[in-house]
Chains A and B, each alone.
Chain A
Amino acid sequence: MHTTHLIHNPAGEKGVPILEAKEVTARFGSREAVIQRASFTIERGGFVFLLGPSGSGKTTLLRLLFGDIRPIEGAVFYGRINLRNMRGRRMAYYRREVSFIFQDFKLLPRRTVFENIALALRVTGASSRTIREKVDEIIPRVGLAHRRDAYPSEISGGEQQRVSIARAMVNEPNVLLADEPTGNLDPRMSTEILDLFEKFNFRGTTVVVATHDAAMAASRRQPILRIERRRVIEDIA
Chain B
Amino acid sequence: MMRLFREALLNVRHGGVVSLLAVVIVALTAALFSSLYLVRNAVYAEAAQFEKNAGAAAFIMDELSEEEVKQLEKTILAMESVERTHIVWKDEALQRGQKMFGDDSVLMLQGFEENPFPVAIEAFAGEEYRNAESMRKMAEEMKQLEGVEDVVFENEAMEQLDKMKRVAFLLGGLIAAVSMVVIAFSIMLTVYARREEIAILRLLGATYGYIRIPLLLQGLLEGLFGSGLGMLILYGLYWQYGASIGFTSFLKPEQMGIVAAGATLVGMLAGMAPLRKHIRAMN
Contacts and interface: CB of A to CB of B under 8 A. Distances in A.
A binds B: yes
Interface of A: 66-68, 70, 86-89, 91-96, 100, 102, 106, 108, 110-111, 119-120, 122-125, 167
B154 to A, nearest CB: 65
B283 A123 contact: no
26 contacts: A66-B203, A68-B203, A86-B283, A88-B207, A89-B207, A91-B282, A92-B205, A92-B207, A92-B210, A93-B205, A95-B203, A95-B204, A96-B205, A100-B203, A108-B196, A108-B197, A110-B14, A119-B200, A119-B201, A120-B204, A123-B201, A123-B204, A123-B205, A123-B210, A124-B205, A125-B3
Nearest to A69: B283
Interface string B182-220: 000000000000001100110111111010000000000
Interface residues of B, number: 17
Contacts of A87: 283
Shortest 8 CB-CB contacts between residues of A and residues of B: A95-B205, A96-B205, A123-B206, A92-B207, A91-B283, A92-B205, A120-B204, A106-B200
A147 to B, nearest CB: 20
A29 to B, nearest CB: 16
B16 interface: yes
Contacts of B282: 88, 91-92
B208 A89 contact: yes
Interface string B248-283: 000000000000000000000000000000000011
A106 B200 CA distance: 7
Contacts, number: 53
Interface in B14-67: 14, 16
Contacts of A93: 205
Nearest to A88: B208
Contacts of A91: 282-283
Nearest to A70: B283
B18 to A, nearest CB: 11
Contacts of A66: 203
A70 B283 CA distance: 9
A86 B204 CA distance: 16
Contacts of A123: 201, 204-207, 210
Contacts of B208: 88-89, 92
A108 B206 contact: no
Contacts of A124: 205
B106 to A, nearest CB: 87
A93 B202 CA distance: 11
Contacts of B197: 108
